[in-house]
Structure 1
Amino acid sequence: MAQYHHGNLRNTLLAIAIELLAEDGVEALSLRKMAQKAGVSHNAPYMHFADKEAVLAAIAQEGFRLLTVNVESAIAQAGKSTRQKLIAASQAYVEFAINHANHVQIMFRPVDVAKYRNLEEVAQASLNQLFELVKAGQENGELIVGDTYEITKAIWAMAHGVAILSIAYQTTNLFSEKNF
Protein backbone atom coordinates (compact mmCIF):
# COMPACT_ATOMS: atom_id res chain seq x y z
CA MET A 1 0.00 0.00 0.00
CA ALA A 2 1.36 3.39 -0.94
CA GLN A 3 1.73 5.87 1.87
CA TYR A 4 2.02 9.48 0.90
CA HIS A 5 1.08 12.94 1.99
CA HIS A 6 -2.48 13.60 0.98
CA GLY A 7 -3.51 17.24 0.41
CA ASN A 8 -7.14 16.97 1.47
CA LEU A 9 -7.50 13.57 3.05
CA ARG A 10 -10.68 14.32 5.01
CA ASN A 11 -12.69 15.21 1.90
CA THR A 12 -11.14 12.35 -0.05
CA LEU A 13 -12.13 9.93 2.71
CA LEU A 14 -15.69 11.28 2.73
CA ALA A 15 -15.96 10.85 -1.04
CA ILE A 16 -14.63 7.30 -0.74
CA ALA A 17 -17.06 6.57 2.10
CA ILE A 18 -19.95 7.66 -0.12
CA GLU A 19 -18.67 5.38 -2.91
CA LEU A 20 -18.39 2.47 -0.48
CA LEU A 21 -21.93 3.12 0.76
CA ALA A 22 -23.19 2.86 -2.80
CA GLU A 23 -21.27 -0.36 -3.38
CA ASP A 24 -21.82 -2.25 -0.14
CA GLY A 25 -24.11 -0.32 2.21
CA VAL A 26 -23.64 1.12 5.68
CA GLU A 27 -22.79 -2.13 7.41
CA ALA A 28 -19.79 -2.77 5.18
CA LEU A 29 -18.34 0.73 5.56
CA SER A 30 -15.12 0.83 7.56
CA LEU A 31 -12.30 3.28 8.11
CA ARG A 32 -9.85 0.55 7.12
CA LYS A 33 -11.54 0.12 3.71
CA MET A 34 -11.59 3.89 3.27
CA ALA A 35 -7.86 4.06 4.00
CA GLN A 36 -7.09 1.21 1.63
CA LYS A 37 -9.02 2.84 -1.19
CA ALA A 38 -7.35 6.21 -0.50
CA GLY A 39 -3.91 4.59 -0.54
CA VAL A 40 -3.01 5.71 2.97
CA SER A 41 -2.15 3.85 6.16
CA HIS A 42 -5.03 2.24 8.01
CA ASN A 43 -4.51 4.71 10.86
CA ALA A 44 -4.70 7.84 8.67
CA PRO A 45 -8.52 8.17 8.75
CA TYR A 46 -8.39 8.36 12.55
CA MET A 47 -6.65 11.72 12.23
CA HIS A 48 -9.96 13.04 10.89
CA PHE A 49 -12.65 10.72 12.27
CA ALA A 50 -12.89 9.06 15.68
CA ASP A 51 -14.88 6.14 14.29
CA LYS A 52 -17.40 5.03 11.69
CA GLU A 53 -20.17 6.97 13.44
CA ALA A 54 -18.14 10.18 13.01
CA VAL A 55 -17.80 9.45 9.26
CA LEU A 56 -21.55 8.93 8.96
CA ALA A 57 -22.23 12.16 10.88
CA ALA A 58 -19.88 14.06 8.54
CA ILE A 59 -21.65 12.61 5.49
CA ALA A 60 -25.03 13.59 6.94
CA GLN A 61 -23.78 17.09 7.74
CA GLU A 62 -22.48 17.51 4.19
CA GLY A 63 -25.82 16.25 2.88
CA PHE A 64 -27.84 18.78 4.86
CA ARG A 65 -25.54 21.59 3.69
CA LEU A 66 -25.96 20.55 0.06
CA LEU A 67 -29.71 20.20 0.49
CA THR A 68 -29.94 23.67 2.02
CA VAL A 69 -28.03 25.20 -0.87
CA ASN A 70 -30.17 23.38 -3.47
CA VAL A 71 -33.44 24.38 -1.82
CA GLU A 72 -32.26 27.96 -1.32
CA SER A 73 -31.37 28.22 -5.00
CA ALA A 74 -34.73 26.77 -6.05
CA ILE A 75 -36.62 29.20 -3.84
CA ALA A 76 -34.63 32.13 -5.21
CA GLN A 77 -35.52 31.14 -8.78
CA ALA A 78 -39.19 30.46 -8.06
CA GLY A 79 -42.00 32.91 -8.59
CA LYS A 80 -43.13 35.28 -5.90
CA SER A 81 -46.03 33.29 -4.49
CA THR A 82 -45.62 31.02 -1.51
CA ARG A 83 -47.16 28.19 -3.51
CA GLN A 84 -44.54 28.54 -6.26
CA LYS A 85 -41.75 28.64 -3.67
CA LEU A 86 -43.08 25.59 -1.83
CA ILE A 87 -43.34 23.64 -5.09
CA ALA A 88 -39.81 24.68 -6.07
CA ALA A 89 -38.46 23.75 -2.63
CA SER A 90 -40.20 20.37 -2.76
CA GLN A 91 -38.92 19.65 -6.26
CA ALA A 92 -35.40 20.60 -5.18
CA TYR A 93 -35.72 18.24 -2.22
CA VAL A 94 -36.76 15.34 -4.45
CA GLU A 95 -34.05 16.08 -7.02
CA PHE A 96 -31.46 16.28 -4.24
CA ALA A 97 -32.61 12.91 -2.90
CA ILE A 98 -32.34 11.25 -6.29
CA ASN A 99 -28.93 12.79 -7.02
CA HIS A 100 -27.58 12.15 -3.51
CA ALA A 101 -29.34 8.96 -2.45
CA ASN A 102 -26.35 7.82 -0.39
CA HIS A 103 -26.38 11.06 1.58
CA VAL A 104 -30.12 10.73 2.18
CA GLN A 105 -29.62 7.18 3.41
CA ILE A 106 -27.30 8.57 6.10
CA MET A 107 -28.97 11.93 6.81
CA PHE A 108 -32.03 10.37 8.41
CA ARG A 109 -30.41 7.73 10.59
CA PRO A 110 -30.52 7.93 14.38
CA VAL A 111 -27.50 9.79 15.71
CA ASP A 112 -26.28 11.03 19.08
CA VAL A 113 -27.13 14.72 18.59
CA ALA A 114 -25.32 15.68 21.79
CA LYS A 115 -22.14 14.28 20.25
CA TYR A 116 -22.65 15.91 16.85
CA ARG A 117 -24.04 19.40 17.52
CA ASN A 118 -22.95 20.70 14.11
CA LEU A 119 -25.06 18.02 12.45
CA GLU A 120 -28.09 19.05 14.47
CA GLU A 121 -27.50 22.70 13.52
CA VAL A 122 -27.25 22.11 9.76
CA ALA A 123 -30.25 19.76 9.82
CA GLN A 124 -32.30 22.38 11.65
CA ALA A 125 -31.16 25.11 9.25
CA SER A 126 -32.42 22.99 6.37
CA LEU A 127 -35.82 22.50 7.99
CA ASN A 128 -35.97 26.19 8.92
CA GLN A 129 -36.07 27.10 5.23
CA LEU A 130 -39.40 25.36 4.91
CA PHE A 131 -40.66 26.72 8.21
CA GLU A 132 -39.91 30.29 7.11
CA LEU A 133 -41.75 29.73 3.81
CA VAL A 134 -44.81 28.43 5.64
CA LYS A 135 -44.68 31.26 8.16
CA ALA A 136 -44.41 33.90 5.41
CA GLY A 137 -47.27 32.28 3.51
CA GLN A 138 -49.45 32.39 6.61
CA GLU A 139 -48.54 36.01 7.29
CA ASN A 140 -49.39 37.13 3.75
CA GLY A 141 -52.62 35.13 3.67
CA GLU A 142 -51.55 32.60 1.04
CA LEU A 143 -51.58 29.64 3.46
CA ILE A 144 -54.10 28.60 6.07
CA VAL A 145 -53.67 29.88 9.59
CA GLY A 146 -52.71 27.15 12.01
CA ASP A 147 -49.80 25.66 13.88
CA THR A 148 -46.85 26.64 11.68
CA TYR A 149 -44.72 23.79 13.01
CA GLU A 150 -47.36 21.15 12.27
CA ILE A 151 -48.01 22.49 8.78
CA THR A 152 -44.25 22.57 8.13
CA LYS A 153 -43.88 18.98 9.33
CA ALA A 154 -46.75 17.84 7.10
CA ILE A 155 -45.26 19.49 3.99
CA TRP A 156 -41.80 18.16 4.82
CA ALA A 157 -43.17 14.65 5.38
CA MET A 158 -44.88 14.72 1.99
CA ALA A 159 -41.76 15.97 0.21
CA HIS A 160 -39.61 13.41 2.01
CA GLY A 161 -42.04 10.60 1.19
CA VAL A 162 -42.06 11.53 -2.49
CA ALA A 163 -38.25 11.76 -2.39
CA ILE A 164 -37.87 8.29 -0.92
CA LEU A 165 -40.35 6.80 -3.41
CA SER A 166 -38.58 8.64 -6.23
CA ILE A 167 -35.26 7.13 -5.16
CA ALA A 168 -36.85 3.70 -5.15
CA TYR A 169 -38.37 4.19 -8.59
CA GLN A 170 -35.64 6.52 -9.93
CA THR A 171 -38.02 9.15 -11.22
CA THR A 172 -38.64 12.80 -10.46
CA ASN A 173 -42.16 12.75 -11.89
CA LEU A 174 -43.65 9.84 -9.95
CA PHE A 175 -46.43 12.05 -8.63
CA SER A 176 -46.88 14.42 -11.53
CA GLU A 177 -50.40 15.43 -12.51
CA LYS A 178 -50.26 13.30 -15.67
CA ASN A 179 -49.99 10.12 -13.56
CA PHE A 180 -53.29 10.72 -11.78
Structure 2
Amino acid sequence: MSAAYHHENLRETLLELAERSVQRSGVEALSLRQLARDANVSHAAPARHFRDRRALLDALALDGFQRLNRAMADAAATPGTFDARFRAIASAYVTFAVDNAALLGLMYTVKHEADASDALVEAGRGSLRAAVELIAEAQAAGAVTAGDDPERLALVAFASVHGVAALATGDLLDGVSVAEATDATVDLLLRAIGVTQTARD
Protein backbone atom coordinates (compact mmCIF):
# COMPACT_ATOMS: atom_id res chain seq x y z
CA MET A 1 0.00 0.00 0.00
CA SER A 2 1.42 3.40 -0.91
CA ALA A 3 2.84 5.84 1.61
CA ALA A 4 0.37 8.47 0.41
CA TYR A 5 -2.49 6.31 1.70
CA HIS A 6 -1.26 6.76 5.26
CA HIS A 7 -0.75 10.49 4.95
CA GLU A 8 -2.95 12.33 7.41
CA ASN A 9 -4.13 14.89 4.86
CA LEU A 10 -5.49 12.42 2.30
CA ARG A 11 -8.97 13.92 2.59
CA GLU A 12 -7.68 17.40 1.82
CA THR A 13 -5.58 16.03 -1.03
CA LEU A 14 -8.59 14.32 -2.56
CA LEU A 15 -10.64 17.53 -2.29
CA GLU A 16 -7.88 19.53 -3.98
CA LEU A 17 -7.60 16.99 -6.77
CA ALA A 18 -11.39 16.87 -7.15
CA GLU A 19 -11.56 20.65 -7.44
CA ARG A 20 -8.86 20.68 -10.10
CA SER A 21 -10.73 17.98 -12.00
CA VAL A 22 -13.99 19.94 -11.86
CA GLN A 23 -12.29 23.15 -13.01
CA ARG A 24 -10.50 21.35 -15.83
CA SER A 25 -13.05 18.81 -17.08
CA GLY A 26 -16.39 19.52 -15.39
CA VAL A 27 -18.38 17.66 -12.77
CA GLU A 28 -19.38 14.76 -15.02
CA ALA A 29 -15.76 13.70 -15.46
CA LEU A 30 -15.15 13.47 -11.71
CA SER A 31 -14.36 9.92 -10.63
CA LEU A 32 -13.30 8.50 -7.28
CA ARG A 33 -11.17 5.90 -9.03
CA GLN A 34 -9.37 8.55 -11.04
CA LEU A 35 -8.81 10.61 -7.91
CA ALA A 36 -7.30 7.54 -6.23
CA ARG A 37 -4.93 7.12 -9.16
CA ASP A 38 -4.03 10.82 -9.11
CA ALA A 39 -3.35 10.64 -5.36
CA ASN A 40 -1.33 7.45 -5.80
CA VAL A 41 -3.47 5.44 -3.40
CA SER A 42 -5.52 2.27 -3.74
CA HIS A 43 -8.91 2.59 -5.41
CA ALA A 44 -10.55 1.78 -2.05
CA ALA A 45 -8.70 4.47 -0.08
CA PRO A 46 -11.07 7.39 -0.86
CA ALA A 47 -13.96 5.41 0.66
CA ARG A 48 -12.45 6.00 4.09
CA HIS A 49 -13.32 9.68 3.64
CA PHE A 50 -16.15 9.70 1.07
CA ARG A 51 -18.59 6.81 0.94
CA ASP A 52 -19.46 7.55 -2.69
CA ARG A 53 -19.21 10.17 -5.40
CA ARG A 54 -22.17 12.12 -4.00
CA ALA A 55 -20.48 12.42 -0.62
CA LEU A 56 -17.40 13.77 -2.37
CA LEU A 57 -19.48 16.37 -4.23
CA ASP A 58 -21.18 17.40 -0.98
CA ALA A 59 -17.81 17.81 0.73
CA LEU A 60 -16.41 19.74 -2.21
CA ALA A 61 -19.40 22.11 -2.23
CA LEU A 62 -19.24 22.60 1.54
CA ASP A 63 -15.53 23.34 1.38
CA GLY A 64 -16.17 25.86 -1.39
CA PHE A 65 -18.86 27.68 0.58
CA GLN A 66 -16.65 27.78 3.67
CA ARG A 67 -13.83 29.35 1.67
CA LEU A 68 -16.19 31.85 0.06
CA ASN A 69 -17.71 32.74 3.42
CA ARG A 70 -14.28 33.32 4.95
CA ALA A 71 -13.39 35.63 2.07
CA MET A 72 -16.64 37.54 2.50
CA ALA A 73 -16.25 37.79 6.27
CA ASP A 74 -12.68 39.03 5.93
CA ALA A 75 -13.83 41.64 3.40
CA ALA A 76 -16.68 42.78 5.63
CA ALA A 77 -14.21 43.20 8.49
CA THR A 78 -12.07 45.59 6.44
CA PRO A 79 -11.52 48.82 8.41
CA GLY A 80 -13.16 51.90 6.94
CA THR A 81 -16.46 53.28 5.81
CA PHE A 82 -19.51 51.31 4.79
CA ASP A 83 -18.78 52.32 1.20
CA ALA A 84 -15.30 50.76 1.35
CA ARG A 85 -16.46 47.62 3.15
CA PHE A 86 -19.37 47.09 0.76
CA ARG A 87 -17.00 47.39 -2.20
CA ALA A 88 -14.70 44.91 -0.50
CA ILE A 89 -17.35 42.21 -0.10
CA ALA A 90 -18.60 42.74 -3.65
CA SER A 91 -15.07 42.39 -4.97
CA ALA A 92 -14.44 39.32 -2.81
CA TYR A 93 -17.52 37.58 -4.19
CA VAL A 94 -16.81 38.42 -7.82
CA THR A 95 -13.16 37.40 -7.49
CA PHE A 96 -14.07 34.02 -5.98
CA ALA A 97 -16.82 33.44 -8.55
CA VAL A 98 -14.61 34.25 -11.52
CA ASP A 99 -11.60 32.32 -10.24
CA ASN A 100 -13.71 29.28 -9.32
CA ALA A 101 -16.51 29.33 -11.87
CA ALA A 102 -16.95 25.57 -12.24
CA LEU A 103 -16.72 25.03 -8.50
CA LEU A 104 -19.27 27.77 -7.81
CA GLY A 105 -21.70 26.12 -10.21
CA LEU A 106 -21.26 22.84 -8.39
CA MET A 107 -21.72 24.54 -5.03
CA TYR A 108 -25.10 26.02 -5.92
CA THR A 109 -26.28 22.89 -7.72
CA VAL A 110 -25.51 20.60 -4.79
CA LYS A 111 -26.91 23.09 -2.28
CA HIS A 112 -30.31 22.99 -4.00
CA GLU A 113 -30.54 19.20 -4.14
CA ALA A 114 -33.50 17.88 -2.15
CA ASP A 115 -31.24 15.85 0.14
CA ALA A 116 -28.61 18.54 0.71
CA SER A 117 -27.27 18.42 4.25
CA ASP A 118 -28.24 21.06 6.80
CA ALA A 119 -24.58 22.05 7.09
CA LEU A 120 -24.35 22.66 3.35
CA VAL A 121 -27.59 24.66 3.20
CA GLU A 122 -26.47 26.77 6.15
CA ALA A 123 -23.04 27.38 4.63
CA GLY A 124 -24.71 28.32 1.36
CA ARG A 125 -26.42 31.23 3.08
CA GLY A 126 -23.20 32.64 4.48
CA SER A 127 -22.24 35.03 1.71
CA LEU A 128 -25.67 36.65 1.66
CA ARG A 129 -25.68 36.82 5.46
CA ALA A 130 -22.43 38.80 5.40
CA ALA A 131 -24.07 41.45 3.22
CA VAL A 132 -27.23 41.52 5.34
CA GLU A 133 -25.26 42.06 8.53
CA LEU A 134 -23.13 44.78 6.97
CA ILE A 135 -26.17 46.69 5.67
CA ALA A 136 -28.08 46.31 8.95
CA GLU A 137 -25.07 47.56 10.89
CA ALA A 138 -24.77 50.57 8.58
CA GLN A 139 -28.47 51.36 8.95
CA ALA A 140 -28.16 51.27 12.73
CA ALA A 141 -25.15 53.59 12.57
CA GLY A 142 -26.91 56.04 10.25
CA ALA A 143 -24.50 55.33 7.40
CA VAL A 144 -27.33 53.94 5.28
CA THR A 145 -30.88 55.23 5.06
CA ALA A 146 -33.07 53.22 7.43
CA GLY A 147 -36.42 51.74 6.47
CA ASP A 148 -35.62 49.25 3.73
CA ASP A 149 -35.33 45.58 4.66
CA PRO A 150 -31.58 44.75 4.79
CA GLU A 151 -32.29 41.22 3.59
CA ARG A 152 -34.03 42.53 0.47
CA LEU A 153 -31.26 45.03 -0.18
CA ALA A 154 -28.62 42.33 0.27
CA LEU A 155 -30.47 39.98 -2.09
CA VAL A 156 -30.56 42.63 -4.83
CA ALA A 157 -26.88 43.37 -4.25
CA PHE A 158 -26.02 39.67 -4.35
CA ALA A 159 -27.94 39.16 -7.59
CA SER A 160 -26.18 42.14 -9.15
CA VAL A 161 -22.61 41.15 -8.32
CA HIS A 162 -23.32 37.51 -9.19
CA GLY A 163 -24.52 38.79 -12.55
CA VAL A 164 -21.20 40.56 -13.09
CA ALA A 165 -19.36 37.32 -12.36
CA ALA A 166 -21.61 35.35 -14.72
CA LEU A 167 -21.03 37.85 -17.52
CA ALA A 168 -17.29 37.74 -16.90
CA THR A 169 -17.03 33.95 -16.96
CA GLY A 170 -19.23 33.86 -20.05
CA ASP A 171 -16.96 36.39 -21.77
CA LEU A 172 -19.93 38.74 -22.18
CA LEU A 173 -18.49 42.00 -20.81
CA ASP A 174 -17.56 43.22 -24.32
CA GLY A 175 -14.10 44.36 -23.39
CA VAL A 176 -15.03 45.92 -20.05
CA SER A 177 -12.76 44.66 -17.28
CA VAL A 178 -14.22 42.70 -14.38
CA ALA A 179 -12.99 45.38 -11.97
CA GLU A 180 -14.64 48.16 -13.96
CA ALA A 181 -17.92 46.25 -14.25
CA THR A 182 -17.87 45.50 -10.52
CA ASP A 183 -17.17 49.13 -9.63
CA ALA A 184 -19.97 50.41 -11.87
CA THR A 185 -22.41 47.91 -10.37
CA VAL A 186 -21.42 48.82 -6.83
CA ASP A 187 -21.80 52.53 -7.59
CA LEU A 188 -25.41 51.95 -8.63
CA LEU A 189 -26.08 49.69 -5.65
CA LEU A 190 -24.73 52.23 -3.17
CA ARG A 191 -27.02 54.90 -4.59
CA ALA A 192 -29.98 52.53 -4.43
CA ILE A 193 -29.18 51.48 -0.86
CA GLY A 194 -29.05 55.10 0.21
CA VAL A 195 -25.54 55.70 1.51
CA THR A 196 -25.35 58.86 3.59
CA GLN A 197 -22.48 61.32 3.70
CA THR A 198 -21.51 59.80 7.06
CA ALA A 199 -20.63 56.54 5.32
CA ARG A 200 -18.23 58.30 2.97
CA ASP A 201 -16.45 60.50 5.52
TM-score by length of 1: 0.85
Deviation at 1:43, TM superposition (A): 1.3
Q: CA deviation at 1:14?
A: 0.5
Residue 83 of structure 1 corresponds to 83
CA apart distance, 1:72: 2.0
* Residue 173 (str. 1) matches residue 183 (str. 2): no
Query: Higher helix fraction: Structure 1 or Structure 2?
Result: 2
In the TM superposition, what are the counterparts of 1:98-117 in structure 2 within 5 Å? Answer: 98-111=98-111, 112=113, 114-117=115-118
Deviates more, 1:126-135 or 1:99-108: 99-108
CA distance in 1, matches of 2:149, 2:78: 27
Deviation at 1:50, TM superposition (A): 1.9
2:149 to 143, 147, 150: 147
Aligned-pair CA distance for 1:157: 0.8
1:162 Cα offset (Å): 1.1
| CA distance, structure 1, for counterparts of residue 45 and residue 74 of structure 2 | 36
- Corresponding residue number in structure 2 for 1:160: 162
- Counterpart of 2:127 in structure 1 is 126
Please state whether the residue corresponding to 1:83 is helix, strand or coil: helix
Does the 8 A contact of 1:61 with 1:119 survive in 2? yes
Structure 1 residue 53: deviation in Å? 1.7
Q: Specify the alignment match of 1:3 in structure 2.
A: 2
- 1 CA distance for matches of 2:76 and 2:145? 17
Structure 2 counterpart of 1:20, one-letter code: S
Structure 1 position 174, deviation (Å): 5.0
Between the aligned residues of both structures, percent identity stands at 34
Provide the alpha-carbon RMSD of the alignment: 2.2
Say which SS state the counterpart of residue 63 (structure 2) adopts. Answer: helix
Q: Secondary structure at the match of 2:6?
A: coil
- Kindly state the Cα deviation for residue 61 of structure 1 after the two structures are TM-superposed: 1.2
Match of 2:199 in 1: none
Structure 2 CA distance for aligned equivalents of residues 161 and 151 of structure 1: 15
**Greater displacement, 59-68 / 121-130:** 121-130
Change (3 A) 1:126 1:173: closer
- The worse-fitting range, judged by mean Cα deviation, of 134-143 and 150-159 is 134-143
Letter in 2 for 1:172: V
Q: How many matched pairs?
A: 175
Distance 1:115 1:73, change over 3 A: closer
Pair 6,127 (structure 1): closer, same or farther in 2 beyond 3 Å: farther
What is the CA-CA distance between 1:66 and the residue it aligns to?
A: 1.2
Residues 58-77 of structure 1 mapped to structure 2, 5 A cutoff = 58-77=59-78
Larger Rg: 2
| Conserved? CA contact 2:76–2:134, under 8 Å | no
Alignment partner, residue 44 of structure 2: 43
